[in-house]
Amino acid sequence: MASPESATLGEVLASAGRTPPNAGSRLFRVTPRALVSAACAAASLLTCLLLWHWVSTTRAHFGFITFSNVPPPAEVLAAAIELLSSPKLGQHVGHSLSRIAFGFTAAALVGVALGLLIGRFRLAARLLLPPLEVLRPIPAVAWIPLAILMFPSSEMSMIYINFTGALFPILLNTIHGVEAVDPRLIASARSLGTRRWRLFIEVILPAAAPGIFTGLSIGMGTCWFCLVSAEMISGQFGIGYYTWESYTVQNYAGIVVGMLFIGAFGMGSSALVRWIGASVTPWYRLQEKQS
């Protein structure tokens, strides 16, 4: 039997009557189901592209909605090629990625730490949750004037806007993940002699990890959602700033290019977070397959 101070999640799962994770299992496999899903996704994107081409080229009107000024896909493709060949692309992407990275990292650290405390300790929930619940409904764009006053540089202001956008999805999903930990896991760990912070780190945190990574994925998407609002503060570089600048100079194709860049980067970064979460929580995927 393992020593009282060395009980791990695998031992706790085994003592609770669950199958421990198979370390040799692969996360991704090419299966007929995966091929069908990929084909459906491609067909859906192609249908949207054709519909966009039709409404923009025919300048369709649907009641109070008009597409007379919406650029067709061909114009957007030309604008995208022009941006890709521009030396400013690297600056736009680099500035946006750095702002996302700093804002998201800070939100992840603060959100996960507060979520673990609030979800586990009743006193922390009573003291910290009320003011956080007051701040949670405030949209990120409403923080812009105060952020300008709070921080000496516009760069820090933009990072803060991204931070506020990503914080609360991470916080709430971490709280729910901790509260949803099976009490039998905690009881089994205590019966094996695990106490204090080892119980917290080796049992509660891994058991709540799927919920935490769900919050991280949502928070990453929200971070990109807030990017345009953040980069409106200072006009230098960034994908959000490029989108807003295109609007001010009536470069309608550039607006769509900026939107598509934000969507692509947001989808890719959220998928990366989900992949990391699936890599570090193989027991969760195993439980899904067995259920």
- For 217-264, write each residue's pLDDT tens digit: 999 999 988 888 888 776 678 888 888 888 888 888 999 999 999 989
Query: Using 50, 70 and 90 to split pLDDT, how confident is the model at 5?
Result: very low
The pLDDT of residue 13 is above 70: no
CB-facing half-sphere around the CA of 156: CA atoms within 13 A:
8
Residue 3 lies in a domain: no
Residue 250 lies in a domain: yes
- For 84-131, write each residue's pLDDT tens digit: 888 888 888 898 999 999 999 999 999 999 999 999 888 989 999 999
Residue 48 lies in a domain: no
The pLDDT of residue 2 is above 60: no
Residue 79 lies in a domain: yes
- For 53-75, write each residue's pLDDT tens digit: 898 888 888 878 888 888 999 99
Size of the chain in residues: 291
Residue 4 lies in a domain: no
* CATH code, domain with 253: 1.10.3720.10
When pLDDT is averaged across residues 170-176 and rounded to a whole number, the result is 94
When pLDDT is averaged across residues 205-214 and rounded to a whole number, the result is 90
Per-residue pLDDT at 151? 87
Query: Using 50, 70 and 90 to split pLDDT, how confident is the model at 25?
Result: very low
Q: Which residues contact 11 (CB under 8 A, 6 or more apart)?
A: 2, 192
Provide the domain count of the chain: 1
Please give the structure tokens belonging to residue 243: 């989108």
Residue 54 lies in a domain: no
Cβ(231)–Cβ(241) below 8 Å: yes
Range of the domain at 266: 9-30+71-290
Residue 46 lies in a domain: no
Distance CA 276, CA 4 (A): 31
Per-residue pLDDT at 3? 47
Long-range pairs for 131-140: beta carbons < 8 A, 24 or more residues apart = 132/168, 132/171, 135/168, 136/168, 136/172, 138/164, 140/164, 140/165, 140/226, 140/229, 140/230
Residue 50 lies in a domain: no
Please give the structure tokens belonging to residue 107: 């939100």
- For the chain, the distance separating the N- and C-terminal CA atoms, rounded to the nearest angstrom, is 29
